[in-house]
C-alpha cells in the first residue's frame, strides 16, 4: 500500500499523538478538528513534545523541523479528501463517531481506509454509518501514542480483507507492533486491563491510599505507572465509559464499574484534565 497522506480527525491528546507519530515516520499528515483554531492548538502540542525530545537528545533539531514540515492543519474534512488513510480520534461518543463517518465516506477517495481509534466501541456499528462499511476498520492506539508500541487492529463484520491488510501495513509503517483483536467490548487489552484498574478503585473505596496501591503495582509488577495514576492521566470519565460499555455488552459482574468511580465522575473529578482525581494536579 502506498501511503502519501494521512488525515487525523480530532486534535486532542490521542489525535495529536497519532499525527506526531505519522510525521516522525515521514508521512504527510493533515490534523483536522471542528475548527482550524483547535487543530492549530493540537499542532502546537506536537511542536512542544518534539522540542522536548530534542532537549532529551532523542532527536535532532533538524529532525524536529523536518517532521513539522509534514504537518498541516484544517477545520475541514475537504482538505483531506485525497488522503490514503483517515484516522478518527474524536471523543468516545457513538453519535459523534457515526456523524463523522457518514461525512467522511462522502468526501474521502474510495481507495482510502477509514480507521477509528475507539478504545472499545463496536467497529461494526461505527461502520454502519458509511456507505462502504467494508473500508472501515478499528485501529486502537494507546496513550501516549508516540511512546506506546502497540496498535490493536479490529475488523468489523463487514470489513474487507484488503482494508484489514492496509490497516496492518499502516500500523507497521509508523513503527507500531500490530495485533488483531476481536470486535467485542474492550477488544484485547482493555478487556483485561480495565477490570484491574476498576479493582484498584475498589481498594481505595475500602480505605487504602491511592499512593500505596500505585506503589505496590509499580514495584510488585514493574509497571511504569500505577493503575490509579494512569486512570487520572487517561481520564476517569473515559474509564467509566469503557467499563460501562464492557459491562453492558458482556453482562459479567466482574466488569461492573466501581461506585466510587461513578461518584468521582459525577463530582467532576476526572483526573489530570480537571485538576483533581485520585491525585491533585
Bond prior to 124 in cis (omega within 30° of 0):
no
> Which distant-in-sequence residues (6+ apart) come within 8 Å of 56 by Cβ?
none
Residue 140 annotated among the catalytic residues of the structure: yes
Alpha helices in 69-93 (DSSP H): none
Three-state SS for 211?
helix
Bond prior to 144 in cis (omega within 30° of 0):
yes
Residue 74 annotated among the catalytic residues of the structure: no
Residue 110 annotated among the catalytic residues of the structure: no
Residue 152 annotated among the catalytic residues of the structure: yes
- Spot the catalytic one: 24, 88, 92, 152: 152
- Spot the catalytic one: 88, 122, 140, 242: 140
- Spot the catalytic one: 163, 190, 198, 242: 190
> Which distant-in-sequence residues (6+ apart) come within 8 Å of 69 by Cβ?
none
Backbone phi, then psi, for 123, in 5-degree steps? Answer: -65, -40
- Spot the catalytic one: 117, 119, 163, 242: 119
Strand partners, 266: none
Residues carrying an active site annotation = 119, 140, 152, 190
Amino acid at each position: 500500500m502506498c501511503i502519501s497522506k494521512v488525515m487525523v480527525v480530532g486534535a486532542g491528546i490521542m489525535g495529536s499523538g497519532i499525527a506526531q507519530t505519522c510525521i516522525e515516520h515521514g508521512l504527510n499528515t493533515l490534523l483536522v478538528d471542528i475548527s482550524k483554531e483547535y487543530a492549530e492548538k493540537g499542532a502546537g502540542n506536537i511542536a512542544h513534545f518534539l522540542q522536548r525530545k530534542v532537549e532529551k537528545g532523542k532527536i535532532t533539531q533538524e529532525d524536529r523541523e523536518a517532521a513539522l514540515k509534514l504537518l498541516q492543519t484544517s477545520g475541514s474534512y475537504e482538505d483531506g479528501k485525497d488522503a490514503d488513510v483517515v484516522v478518527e480520534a474524536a471523543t468516545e461518543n457513538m453519535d459523534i463517531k457515526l456523524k463523522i463517518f457518514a461525512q467522511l465516506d462522502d468526501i474521502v477517495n474510495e481507495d482510502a481506509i477509514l480507521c477509528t481509534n475507539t478504545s472499545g466501541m463496536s467497529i461494526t456499528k461505527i461502520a454502519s454509518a458509511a456507505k462502504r462499511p467494508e473500508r472501515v476498520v478499528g485501529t486502537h492506539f494507546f496513550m501516549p501514542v508516540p511512546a506506546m508500541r502497540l496498535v490493536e487492529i479490529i475488523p468489523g463484520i463487514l470489513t474487507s480483507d484488503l482494508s484489514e491488510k492496509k490497516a496492518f501495513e499502516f500500523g507497521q509503517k509508523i513503527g507500531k507492533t500490530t495485533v488483531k483483536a476481536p470486535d467485542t467490548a474492550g477488544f484485547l487489552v482493555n478487556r483485561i486491563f480495565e477490570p484491574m484498574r476498576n479493582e484498584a478503585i475498589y481498594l481505595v473505596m475500602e480505605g487504602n491510599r491511592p499512593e500505596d496501591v500505585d506503589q505496590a503495582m509499580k514495584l510488585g509488577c514493574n509497571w511504569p505507572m500505577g493503575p490509579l495514576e494512569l486512570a487520572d492521566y487517561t481520564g476517569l470519565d473515559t474509564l467509566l465509559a469503557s467499563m460501562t460499555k464492557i459491562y453492558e455488552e458482556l453482562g459479567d459482574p466482574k466488569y461492573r464499574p466501581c461506585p466510587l468511580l461513578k461518584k468521582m465522575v459525577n463530582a467532576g473529578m476526572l483526573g489530570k484534565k480537571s485538576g483533581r482525581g485520585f491525585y491533585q494536579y
